[in-house]
Amino acid sequence: MTLLTRDVARTIPPLYSQEDEDDPMLVTKFFLPGTRWSWFVIEGAMAHPRGCGWGEACDHRSLASWFEHEENDAIFFGYVHGAAALDDEFGYFRLSELEAIRVEVPIAGALLPPIEAERLSAWSSSPDSAKLRVERDLDWSPCHVSEVRS
């Protein structure tokens, strides 16, 4: 799955454009299947020398200079659900970091429903395990931060 398509990227506001919002919108959701880990995007920027081309009058090229990046990477600011509720926080995360995540889990493990285990077995190096990858929630509807924090 392509985590960040051009159409999805066009829905993401530029970095720092939402910082004055008390309850900003979460426009895109990435998640690690079978776990609590979710990354909700509030705003972002693309690392491309000519700008990202995400939309009309693109403002996304204004990457912060402190961001070490590869060309065509993206940085997001958003809300993250961690392994436990105490791990939930606002912060920055990169597209390349999400794409690099691989977690090997037993297919027979309690975390995976049978249909998901079957779907993930294609990524496995062993018939008894699967490597989970971060996915984009294709059914995600943008909502306010307060709606996922409650």
40-44, 46-50, 62-66, 123-127: lowest mean pLDDT where? 62-66
Domain limits, the chain: 6-102+134-141
Q: How far is CA 8 from CA 55, 77, 136, 138, in A?
A: 10, 15, 10, 10
Who contacts 110 (Cβ-Cβ below 8 Å, separation ≥6)?
none
pLDDT by residue (tens digit) across 64-76?
Answer: 454 556 667 888 9
Strands 143-144 and 38-46 come out as unpaired
Q: What is the mean pLDDT of the chain?
A: 79
Rounded-to-integer distance, Cα 77 and Cα 90, Å: 7
The verdict on pTM exceeding 0.95 is no
Predicted confidence (pLDDT) per residue in 92-143, tens digit = 999 999 999 988 776 655 455 555 555 555 555 565 666 789 999 999 999 9
